[in-house]
Structure 1
Amino acid sequence: MSTSLSHSAPESALPAIPETSKVAIVTAEWNAHITEALTKGAIDLLESRNVEYDVYHVPGAVELTYGAAQLLAHYDAIIVFGCVIRGGTPHFDYVCQSVTQGITKLNAEFDTPVIFGVLTVDNEQDALDRAGGKLGNKGTEAAEAAIKMIHFTCKVNEL
């Protein structure tokens, strides 16, 4: 989910996935004006593809790992959304490291893909630009990644 000036792939470029596929979205309440915009971007794409989804909320970015871990057995993919804005203390680094390592561990240890939709930005404008602003909506890109990973998992299970 890297930032580039190109926007999301055309919807037609997304692979087909089973009609029974279900995605969980775990959204941090901290910086809700950003995380809800990311969530909306994901929902819009999932609905356009008729993919079933549920949305869950946790207090902040650190709690995203716990939220995702609780849902692993019930969904075909999980998307986590958070927004951590750099401040004047090392707190930014600790939160970013915690959520990054937590989601990486879930992806390494379990069979359900967890899509990292956490914005780690220098300022609020950077986040707004990525949550439906001039750089598109990273929430839409996260939903695209979830669909692609569900397709990938189906292909691997056919081996």
Structure 2
Amino acid sequence: MASSQSHYILPRPSFDAPVKLLIVVAPYYRDITNDMIAGARAEIAAAGATCDLIEVPGALEVPTAIATAERLSNYDGYVALGCVIRGATTHYETVCNDSSRALTLLGLQGLFIGNGILTVENMAQAEERANPADMNKGGGAAAAALHLVALARKWGSQRATPGFKPDTEEYQLAQTTKGNPSA
């Protein structure tokens, strides 16, 4: 059982236009990931969104599949699911660190990803975190992706330049002649 400590959970976002997420799962521990998928699907449905699901061989392949889907398909966001349990070798650190780092880098490039790759010490911790009636980390990862999609829609399309745009004639002239050397 999870601790009795309470945690704040953001209210579920709402959407005016359809949202479609891709769940990318590494099902090495099938019972664990099945629980996580159930939690993610329930959260996505509760927000009125839809999803597709694909499986990849392991946690290290999850970021690559997401990057490929971003280039070749049309999803609003992504839910990364999997489970890495510490073993007797340093492979655990490699898989945990590299999959997390790759997902973070994709997020910094503008993809909306909820990271639900569990990194735990033992099966009991994995079961507790995966269980939709307990810690529901699959649902939490889906909620994270949905919140990021909602933020992007709230803020609108990205600006051509970062930061504020000064309201000067010189700036406006520079923007209208950008890319037009004859102007």
Residue 34 in structure 1 maps to residue 26 in structure 2: no
Task: Specify the structure having the higher radius of gyration (Cα).
Answer: 2
Distance in structure 2 (CA, Å) of the matches to 1:68 and 1:4: 35
Q: Assess if the C-alpha contact under 8 Å between 2:84 and 2:118 holds in 1.
A: yes
* TM-score of the aligned structures, taking structure 1 as reference length: 0.87
Listed as ranges, the matches of 1:100-115 within 5 Å are 100-109=100-109, 111-115=110-114
Unaligned runs of 5+ in 1: none
* TM-score of the aligned structures, taking structure 2 as reference length: 0.77
Question: In percent, how many aligned pairs have the same letter?
Answer: 32
Tell me the CA shift for residue 133 of structure 1. 6.7
Distance in structure 1 (CA, Å) of the matches to 2:152 and 2:133: 32
Q: Please state whether the residue corresponding to 2:6 is helix, strand or coil.
A: coil
Residue 69 in structure 1 maps to residue 35 in structure 2: no
- 1:149 matched to which residue of 2? 148
Please identify which structure carries the higher strand content: 1
1:69-99 residue CA offsets vs partner (Å, 9 max, x unmatched): 1112521110100100001110100111110
Distance in structure 1 (CA, Å) of the matches to 2:17 and 2:36: 24
Of residues 17, 41, 44, the one that matches 1:43 is 41
Distance in structure 1 (CA, Å) of the matches to 2:51 and 2:15: 14
Q: Assess if the C-alpha contact under 8 Å between 2:114 and 2:143 holds in 1.
A: no
Tell me the CA shift for residue 4 of structure 1. 8.3
1:39-74 residue CA offsets vs partner (Å, 9 max, x unmatched): 110101111222011001001101101111111252
Distance in structure 2 (CA, Å) of the matches to 1:63 and 1:127: 20
Of residues 19, 22, 25, the one that matches 2:23 is 25
Question: 1:151–1:80: structure 2 CA closer, same or farther, 3 Å change rule?
Answer: same
